[in-house]
Amino acid sequence: MRGLHQALLYLGRPLEALRIVDVLEPLARKIGDKITTARCISTRAWMEFGQAPDLAKLEAGLEQESKSGRDEAGIWDSIFSVQLSQLYFFRGDWAGALLPARASCSFEIGGVIEGNGVGTLFRLMAYAGDRDGALAILDEKCALMPRSGQPNGAGFVVDAGACY
């Protein structure tokens, strides 16, 4: 069920994903799956924000999400830091958004999470006009970038074209 929830989100079908959350979250709580519970809370918080943009309400939802997934170190720390960075970005606090974006990079442990934080940091540096910093990230992570004609791996994905 968790896989279906995530697949629906990735396919851009958030309303269907939200219906899954209504069934999935109680089950996740019952079996003590903190990551899935936090993911469900996250889905609700972002869906509510998309329907009625209220940054204070989004922040409250993200805090609830953080408490739910807190015992799971690594992956969830990175995901939460990325979302917190996005919240600051939406507030127009680009400097404040850099701190959690940088923190999210320190939690990356490879696999499917690799690039979540560094992609966020790249985007912020690009928006802030730090061309050299953004290009340095691309240089460092070039091997993880998608390549034409090859299967894409999980991890760092930025719409930046081919590495140079």
Q: What is the pLDDT of residues 8-61, one digit of tens each?
A: 988 999 899 999 999 999 999 999 988 889 889 999 999 999 999 999 999 999
The domain that holds 147 is classified in CATH as: 1.25.40
Q: Tokens in use for 108?
A: 């990356």
What Cα–Cα distance (Å) separates residue 41 from each residue in 3, 12, 107, 130? 16, 18, 21, 33
Name the phi and psi angles at 33, rounded to 5: -85, 95
| Residue 78, CA atoms < 13 Å, CB-side half-sphere | 20
- Regarding whether 78 and 60 lie in a shared domain, the answer is no
Range of the domain at 23: 1-71
Higher-confidence residue of 145 and 13: namely 13
- Regarding whether 92 and 57 lie in a shared domain, the answer is no
Q: What is the pLDDT of residue 159?
A: 42
Q: What is the pLDDT of residue 145?
A: 75
Q: What is the pLDDT of residue 110?
A: 63
How many Cβ atoms are within 10 Å of 10's Cβ, its own excluded?
9
- Regarding whether 109 and 80 lie in a shared domain, the answer is yes
Share of the chain above pLDDT 70, in %: 85
Q: Using CA atoms, how far apart are residues 141 and 115, in angstroms rounded to an integer?
A: 8
Whether 92 has a pLDDT exceeding 80, the answer reads yes
Reduced to 3 states, what is the DSSP secondary structure of residue 148? Answer: coil
- Regarding whether 161 and 81 lie in a shared domain, the answer is yes
Strands (E) across the chain are located at none
Domain boundary among 31, 56, 71: 71
Q: What is the pLDDT of residue 97?
A: 94
Number of structural domains found in the chain: 2
